[in-house]
Structure 1
Amino acid sequence: MIVDVQQGTFAVSPPIHRGEEIVRRIAGLLARARAEGRPVVHVQHDGGPGDVLGKGSAGWPHHPLVAPRPGEIVVEKRHSSSFHDTDLHQRLTDAGIDRLVIAGMQTEMCVDSACRGAVALGYRVVLVADGHTTWDTPVIDVERIVAHHNRLLGQGFADVVAAADVTF
């Protein structure tokens, strides 16, 4: 499940931390999942009119390295959680999916919410430890945000696994 890897997150200043590196890593995971015939889910955030990720804006489309292919699940959302006010849970249930490998953007927001929401609905979750990123905040830098969420989510919410070690 690829969360909010959209062109707008690369177009702002400052750009998302190590964004190009992370998107290439996610693209590698995506290629492996596709090669193994695994279902792929793309989540796309609509920040509303005027937002860099607003539907129809230049930032709305998926990053080209991880763009959906025909037949892959695409879910549009307006909240941090991929499950809030979307049909994601139903689509996953219909497809017989009970385990999610999650990567994407923004660590402390939509990636965190995706992991927690999935666990609350009974999914087994793998968080790609080196497959999510965010921006520095005035309070904490991005490296600490990512490390903190890997540690926190690894304590009962997800198996936290490096991209090279992910199995599908």
Structure 2
Amino acid sequence: MHRSCHDVIAGDILLERIRLLIAKARSCGAPVIYIQHNEGPGEPLETNTPAWHIHSAVAPMEGDVIIQKRTPDSFHNTNLQDKLDRLGVRRLILAGLKTEMCVDTTCRRAVSLGYDVVLAKDAHSTWDSGNLTASEIIEHHNHVLQWFAETMESADIVF
């Protein structure tokens, strides 16, 4: 089923929290890296379709890095690790969509690659799925991912 940012629980709040994290990063010169998921023809995130584009509220600026991916793992078959190495980045702040897929998978992979990972526990989201509400999914992943990464409220994250 096709989903949009309007199906995301508290989507407007999520966008604002991510926007503030990006602003904090930029204010201290930390690199901002976007991960953009690409799917094939007819899929919800088909490349170059409206749903695929990064939301204008958190749009990249000149100098930001955009990594294209095709799997939930932002490192798998991408140049993300190479970009991070060239930028000298060892600490990652994670936020975005989809909690139980891309956020979870990328968080675990980053930790296994030796990165210091902070999950903005109030700046990732999803939608209801099966018998679970989006809130239950987010709460569960925040609990589980605390064993892999530091989990913090976005307002408390310092770059």
Shorter-chain TM-score range: over 0.9
Superposed displacement of residue 141, structure 1: 1.1
Question: Contact 1:46 / 1:76 at 8 angstroms: preserved in 2?
Answer: yes
Does the alignment pair 1:161 with 2:152?
yes
- Which residue pairs with 2:118 in the alignment? 126
Counterpart CA distance in 1 for 2:85 and 2:55 is: 27
Q: Which of 129, 134, 149 is 1:142 aligned to? A: 134
Counterpart CA distance in 2 for 1:75 and 1:166 is: 23
- Which residue pairs with 2:27 in the alignment? 35
- Which residue pairs with 2:4 in the alignment? 9
Unpaired stretches in structure 2, ≥5 consecutive residues? none
TM-score by length of 1: 0.90
Question: Contact 1:48 / 1:78 at 8 angstroms: preserved in 2?
Answer: no
Superposed displacement of residue 66, structure 1: 1.0
Superposed displacement of residue 75, structure 1: 0.1
Runs of 4+ in 1 over 2 A off after TM superposition: none
Superposed displacement of residue 52, structure 1: 2.3
- Which residue pairs with 1:59 in the alignment? 51
Counterpart CA distance in 1 for 2:101 and 2:15 is: 17
Does the alignment pair 1:106 with 2:98?
yes
Superposed displacement of residue 16, structure 1: 1.2
Counterpart CA distance in 2 for 1:18 and 1:165 is: 20
Q: Deviations over 1:30-69 (max 9, x none)?
A: 1111111111100000122112211111111100111111
Question: Contact 1:107 / 1:134 at 8 angstroms: preserved in 2?
Answer: yes
Q: Identity percentage over the alignment?
A: 42
For 2:89, the aligned partner's letter is I
Q: Which of 10, 27, 39 is 1:18 aligned to? A: 10
Q: How large is the Cα RMSD of the aligned pairs?
A: 1.1
For 1:165, the aligned partner's letter is D
Partner of 1:70, secondary structure, is coil
Unpaired stretches in structure 1, ≥5 consecutive residues? 1-7
For 2:156, the aligned partner's letter is D
- Stretch deviating more after TM superposition (51-60 or 79-88): 51-60
Does the alignment pair 1:115 with 2:107?
yes
Q: Deviations over 1:129-164 (max 9, x none)?
A: 100110111221111111111110001x11000011
Superposed displacement of residue 23, structure 1: 0.8
Counterpart CA distance in 2 for 1:153 and 1:119 is: 10
Does the alignment pair 1:84 with 2:76?
yes
TM-score by length of 2: 0.95
Question: Contact 1:25 / 1:163 at 8 angstroms: preserved in 2?
Answer: yes
